[in-house]
Every structure is written in structure tokens, then in C-alpha cells.
Structure 1
Amino acid sequence: MTSDVIPEGVGRTAIGVARVRALESARTDRLFEDPYAAAFVAAALDGPPPAPRTDVSPAMILLAHHLVIRTRFFDDYLTAAGRAGCTQVVVPAAGLDTRAFRLDWPAGTKVFELDMPAVLGFKERVLAEQGAQAPVARTTIAVDLREDWAGPLVEAGFDPAARTVWLVEGLLVYLGAEEAAALLDTIDSLSAPGSRLALTHGSKDRRRAGASQVVAGAEHAAELAPLVAMWRGGLDEDPVGWLARRGWRAERHDRAELAVGYGRPADYVTSQRSLVTAER
């Protein structure tokens, strides 16, 4: 029987992300609106979300800013991919993502969300309590992404011959190099020509491409120690080159430039290019 309590470990990080999205959604100048984020936080805490803190460390602030910018960027990217003919959307490690409910999808779009059973159990309970209804076909698939997940995805109605947009957000850093490569290999094998991919590539090793000021700050913030302890580094090479060898046209995007474009401060001292998109 699937639990409806958010699990510890990586599952709990989804609550932190939901809290950031709830706070952003409450702003008058918000970059996006997630109508269910606050409900997830309240359900996890068994009470109303706490008020914004005033004693937040610089590392926490930087991480929150990063999450807001990447959420808006991926919102726009997925919406554009749908309008360009990607009729399927697949989100491995979907966590508490609610894009199936809150984005403007073309008619006929199918959204597939994959995650651990306990995460999906909690998510579905809260969405049901909120009366959430996705405007498009939405399928959840309980899997461990370190094992075979292509089979369950196809069995659930995914069509490898149809154009797909994939979102791998905040996942790779929690995987080892071989696991990250295996996940991307599976995505590659299931992607028809014209498919698109968006991912975050963050490395614990600051000498590697993708290492960022967010990672560096988190490593020295005591409140983020449990999060950092779960990071395993992800893909051990630049994903742009990795994807290019497999026939994808990939590029990195600078978060500071994106922030300025969205009317937010460019609070990154150095170039932060951990957001990657690609098209086959």
C-alpha cells in the first residue's frame, strides 16, 4: 500500500522547493504562480506554512533565487516545446511539480510524472484534497529511476515515436556518474526526432563544468548540510558535449542573464550556466 506521508531524504527536499514556490506565488510581482505549493507545505508540516524568515543565510537566499529563476525558465521552455509540437511531457523525479495543472498546454498533451511511490502517494493525497483537476491527460508512474523505468513508462501509454519534451530538474546531482549517464541514455533511446530536453547540471566538484556559486555556498551553510550530504555529483562531464555526441543540439543558459530578463537582481558574481536545454 502506498504511503501518503512525504518520505525523509530526497523526498523531503521537494517540500523545501514547494515552500520557495509558495513564497514566490504570494508576491505581487511573482514570476509564476503555483496554486498548490502552499498546500503541500502545510500538509507536510501538519499546519499552515510558516511565515517567511528574516534570519536566512546568504546561501539559503541564493538557493531560493536559483529555484525561482529555474522554475520560470523551465515553465517557459516547456510551454514553448508544447506549442512547437511536443505532444508528450515526461518529468522524471517529478516530486511536487504541478506544471500539468498550471501551465497552458495545447489540447492533446500527455504528461507523465515519475517518482518514488511514497512521494507520489503524498502528492496525490494533497492534490485530491485541493480538488485539483489537470486540463490535460496526466499519468503518474511509481518507479525507482535507478532501475528500469522505460518499460513502465511505455506500458503507461508513452509513445517513443512521438515528439517529447523531457524535464530533468534538480535530479542529476543526487545520482552517481554512472546512474546519471544511464538515465540520460534511457531518455536518448526514447526520444524521437524533434524531441526536446531541459535539465539542471550541478556538480559537487567546483572544478567541473556546472559547479556553481549555489553549490559552493551550500557546502558552507550548516542549515544546508543534510541537502549537501545527499549530493553525489551527477554526470561527470559537460552535458552539452555528452548530448552532442548523441545527436542533440544543446546549450547552456546563464541564470544571471535570465534573472535580469525577468526583472530580478543578477546576484551571481560569476557566470552560472547550469541550466541546459537541447533539441534532437
Structure 2
Amino acid sequence: MTHAVNLDAVGRTALVTAAMRAAETSRPDAIHRDPYAAALAGDLGQQLLAELLAAVSQAGPSDRPAGSMPGAAGAGSGRRAVNAIRTRFFDDYLRAAVTQDGLRQVVVVGAGMDSRAYRMRWPDAVRYFEVDQATVLDYKRECLAAESPLADHRWVPVDLAEPSWPEALEDAGFDPALPSAWLLEGLLFYLPEPAVHRVLGQVAELAAPGSRIAADLVNAAALTMPAQQAMLEVFASWGCPWLFGCDEPEKLFARHGFAADVVQPGEPGADFDRWPDPVPPRDLPGLYRVFLATGLRH
């Protein structure tokens, strides 16, 4: 029997994300609903989330960067708001992507505890690929053993550190000649910069013209600013420090062949009545920022 304790550091962060999704699902005004999140998070996910939120809450309002968290709700609630907005934003992205003629392949890279194959309705013939370490996918498969996916669901158990992961994806039935929708959620800031470019380059090679991509990133200041240190120290203590920040995500995706639109939580299209504070302009330095990017393959 596979247990969450067998997950590595990055795998365990997926349990934290699931715990946040479970908390959002329990709200009467939830902006997304994930009926599988609580089971996927398990007791360990709830414990890790409590540890993270306790550390974040120790940063007083004067220590938090303006615009980085909803001030009235507090730092812990703000972090959950980012996760809820991100989840809903990418739900909407995928729903829209598969309405495109001929786009029937969805690939989630670093899938973690993503349950969209089970909780969202999909058009006929959609193949939904989840790429992640075998231990992560085995744990999730066990948690969801009694459930049926709502798409042609394909597990791709391979570590992204393996250069051959695209071959494993093709072996699972992915066709690089056909357009596809890619999602890299909660992934890029855990990778060193060379690995970010390697993974995006591999995605670009697999993505036929007309394919789409979506990812979340943080800015460079998020890795160094004092107000973030309490949170960053928790991730580092778990063995999964944040390694990559980017101030110009549009240029990052353009380098790899995608024309990207980028929004921050709280801006039009990424608010969902959950982000009460004004969003500072992009040219205002020294603030923690989260970017939600969606792009089209040239």
C-alpha cells in the first residue's frame, strides 16, 4: 500500500495544495470545488498546511509587501486566496482550450494532486495525461481507486529530471502532430533556471502549432525579500526550496515559442471576487508577485 510518507519533498507540497483546495471547497462561496481534495491531502497534507500558515502568519502586516496578500484577511487567508484563484483560473483555461477545434490532448506536467480528470466534464475523445513521479501517481491512483475519470485518462510515471520524459509521454499515447493544452501548475519555482528552460523547450518541441500552455510563476524578488523569508524557510526545511523567479514571463515564454498573456491575482480575469486589494502596477519594484500565464504556440 502506498502512503503519503513515501512522497519526496516536492511530492508532499502537492498535499499542501490539495489541503488548500479542500479548504476552498468547504466554503459556501467557493470559486472552485474539488470533492477529492480532502482525501488526496490526507492528515499529512493538513499538518503541512498548518505548519506553513503558522509560519506565514508570524509576518506582521507591516512586514508584508503591499499588494501581496489581502490585508484584511491576513497572510494565511491570502495564501489560500492565491491557490483558489490559481486553481479556478487554470480550470477555466482548460475548459476553454478543449473547445478549440481538434484540441483533444491535455498534458499536466508535474501533476501532483490534480484531480481535474475526475472532477471536470470533458468533451468526447479528450486524452488527459498526467506526468509526475511514480510515487506521486501511485499515491493518487490509490486514493482515487474507487472513482472513474471523466476523460481518457493516462498516467505517465516519470521524473521530469529524466531527459526522456517526452518519450514516456508519447509511449502513453500522446501525439505531437496534434494540438495540445499544457499545464505547469505549482512547478516552475521549484526548478533551477536551466531546468525551467529545458522543460519549456521540451514542451515546445512536443506542442504542435495551435497548442496552448499555462503556468504560474513568481517574480525574482519573491525569492529574496525579507517579508517572504518565513514562508521560504518552511519550504527549504521540507527539502524543496524555491529556486526560480522571473520578472518578465512574457519574454520567458516567447523564448520557447509561445505568445503569452500574463495576469496577477486580482487583475481582470484572475479575481473571482476573492482578491480585495488593489494590484500594484508591474513596474513598481520590491513587491512579491504571482504571475498566471497562458500562451499560444506560434
TM-score (norm 2): 0.80
Paired amino acid for 1:275? L
Q: Alpha-carbon deviation of 1:226? A: 2.7
For 1:278, the aligned partner's letter is: G
Shift of 1:40: 1.5
C-alpha contact (below 8 Å) 2:81/2:275 kept by paired residues: no
Q: Matches of residues 236-255 of structure 1 in structure 2 within 5 Å?
A: 238-255=248-265
C-alpha displacement of 1:217: 4.2
Residue in 1 aligned with 2:174? 158
1:136 to 1:259, Cα distance in 2 relative to 1, 3 A: closer
Distance 2:167 2:226 in 1: 38
Structure 1, unpaired ranges of 5+: none
Matches of residues 13-28 of structure 1 in structure 2 within 5 Å?
Answer: 13-28=13-28
Deviations 1:206-260 (A, max 9, x none): 1xxxx499x8644234xx5231452343366733113224432111112112587
Cα distance between partner residues in 2 of 1:125 and 1:260: 33
Could you say what secondary structure the match of 1:220 adopts? helix
Distance 1:266 1:260, change over 3 A: farther
The aligned counterpart of 1:60 is 76
Q: CA RMSD in A?
A: 2.9
Q: Decide whether the 8 Å contact of 2:181 with 2:213 is kept in 1.
A: yes
Greater than 6 Å deviation, 4+ residue runs: 53-56
Once the two structures are TM-superposed, the CA of residue 268 in structure 1 deviates from its matched residue by 6.2
In structure 1, which of residues 109, 112, 132 is the aligned counterpart of residue 126 of structure 2?
109
Q: Percent identity?
A: 35
Pair 216,200 (structure 1): closer, same or farther in 2 beyond 3 Å: farther
CA distance in 1: counterparts of 2:115 and 2:39, whole angstroms = 12
**Residue in structure 2 matched with residue 38 of structure 1 by the alignment:** 38
* 1:225 and 2:242 matched: no
1:41 Cα shift?
A: 2.4
Does residue 132 in structure 1 map to residue 147 in structure 2?
A: yes
The residue aligned with 1:188 is: 204
- Partner of 1:70 in structure 2? 86
Rounded Cα–Cα distance in structure 2 between residues aligned with 1:59 and 1:46: 17
CA distance in 2, matches of 1:158, 1:54: 42
Displacement of 1:74: 0.4
Quickly say closer, same or farther: Cα 1:195–1:29, change in 2 above 3 A: same
- The separation in 1 between residues aligned to 2:226 and 2:181, in whole angstroms, is 30
Is 1:5 matched up with 2:4? yes
Query: Does the CA contact (< 8 Å) of 1:31 and 1:262 recur in 2?
Result: yes
Task: Kindly provide the amino acid, as one letter, of the partner of residue 5 in structure 1.
Answer: A
Counterparts of 2:119 and 2:105, CA distance in 1? 16
2:187 to 159, 167, 171: 171
**Helix, strand or coil: the match of 1:112?**
strand
Give the match for residue 87 of structure 1: 104
Distance in 2 (CA, whole Å) between partners of 1:119 and 1:275 is 24
**Structure 1 residue 141: Cα displacement:** 1.0
> Is 2:109–2:132's contact at 8 Å kept on the other side of the alignment?
yes
Deviation string 1:95-118 (CA, Å, 9 cap, x unpaired) is 000011112211110000011111
Specify whether residues 264 and 196 from structure 1 end up closer, same or farther in structure 2 by C-alpha distance, changes over 3 A only.
same
